[in-house]
A and B are shown apart, each in its own frame.
Chain A
């Protein structure tokens, strides 16, 4: 479309996109390419069922269970699949380990590739020009935009998801969480901490 004045309250602008979407959907349905129920189901799945809580479970288990942790880093697809996540999307999943010396960040400079199976749909900022352009060149500047700063000598590793491999970051376990259940640990794991633009919450954040 030539017009992109999304800042206007022209009812006609929103209607234009709605109309075009409706036209596409109608045609695909009438041609027999897609089924209404399947579309509705997909929407419901991503609105309600697949989201960062999945990834938080994976991280919590990695924090709690050394064998799972080892498996996760050796074969992310299989380990994550064992929890019932992944599969459909067909992507290979790779888990990245944050350590005191290495901090990981994921990006897709070319479009918006994201580990949907464990994090759900990506947020707007992840798909935006500022994030896509700056992360590979100035990750510390991007982290600053998120209010995050790392020690000067921490290595930052940026992973550009240019193929069908999808990445998730396994952040470091916060201090003061010894003996916590996986469910309670999962509550500390934020979406941003699994993308690399944030840290998990600390125990005091939960009180």
Chain B
């Protein structure tokens, strides 16, 4: 979706302000949100793509004002209800009113010792369409649902710099259309291709693009 989250190149947000010696969590509840998100992901409740898509659908004025973990919490509430894990009435009540669904797994304390992300590699559906060095054009696409092709990089010509293998395809996963594995490439753009002939000539920007985002040139 062409949402507020897709901020690459937007103006007006001001300076980057770094906090010195920033703690991982500024409030206890933030840690709980992060941990719940990790635990529910592991449990098989939803994929990261569902979490991202739910965040993207937060109304812009709330998205811009919400803190990072507030956005995660809002997205979690959305996914819990949308995926039938609990009802809006239960969220309102603050406790369960009915038993839960059966999930494939449960994150146990010992697993915190080896906190790694799962693998996103999936079996390749077909040979890769592009090879390293190919010139490609990103598509002028505007899906209403989740995608990982940012607006600033659509309908632009770049070079295939690397092949990252076949991954689950977020555009499908977030819409509950299955893993639909696709080849993933690093596409590098000359900065002027993105920002115009008058922009910084020393800049290159790359994205990780799935094969359906690309057309041959």
Interface on A for B, CB 8 Å cutoff?
4, 129, 137
Complex CA gap A117/B142 in Å reads 36
Chain B residues with CB below 8 A from A129, complex form:
60
Complex CA gap A4/B142 in Å reads 31
Residue of A nearest to B60 (CB): A129
Tell whether, in the assembled complex, residue B60 and residue A137 are in contact, meaning their CB atoms are under 8 Å apart. Answer: no
> Taking the nearest CB of chain B, how far is it from the CB of A154, in angstroms?
22
> Taking the nearest CB of chain B, how far is it from the CB of A2, in angstroms?
10
Chain B residues with CB below 8 A from A4, complex form:
61
Per-position binary interface string of chain B over residues 53-65, scored 1 when its CB falls under 8 Å from any chain A CB and 0 otherwise: 0000000110000
Complex CA gap A129/B60 in Å reads 10
How many residues of B are counted as interface, with CB atoms below 8 angstroms from the partner's CB atoms? 4
Complex CA gap A100/B5 in Å reads 40
Complex CA gap A21/B142 in Å reads 41
Chain B residues with CB below 8 A from A137, complex form:
2, 142
Residue of B nearest to A133 (CB): B2
> Taking the nearest CB of chain B, how far is it from the CB of A110, in angstroms?
13
Residue of A nearest to B2 (CB): A137
Pull 4 A–B residue pairs with CB atoms less than 8 Å apart, ordered by A. Answer: A4-B61, A129-B60, A137-B2, A137-B142
> Taking the nearest CB of chain A, how far is it from the CB of B29, in angstroms?
23
Chain A residues with CB below 8 A from B60, complex form:
129
Residue of A nearest to B59 (CB): A129
Complex CA gap A129/B63 in Å reads 15
Complex CA gap A137/B61 in Å reads 21
Complex CA gap A137/B60 in Å reads 18
Complex CA gap A184/B192 in Å reads 58
> Taking the nearest CB of chain B, how far is it from the CB of A135, in angstroms?
14
CB contacts under 8 Å to A, within B116-139, are none
Complex CA gap A137/B1 in Å reads 12
Chain A residues with CB below 8 A from B2, complex form:
137
Complex CA gap A137/B2 in Å reads 10
Complex CA gap A129/B2 in Å reads 13
Residue of B nearest to A137 (CB): B142
Complex CA gap A137/B141 in Å reads 12
CB contacts under 8 Å to A, within B34-62, are 60-61
> Taking the nearest CB of chain B, how far is it from the CB of A136, in angstroms?
11
Complex CA gap A156/B15 in Å reads 42
Per-position binary interface string of chain B over residues 87-122, scored 1 when its CB falls under 8 Å from any chain A CB and 0 otherwise: 000000000000000000000000000000000000
Complex CA gap A137/B144 in Å reads 11
- Closest 4 A-B residue pairs measured CB to CB? A137-B142, A129-B60, A137-B2, A4-B61
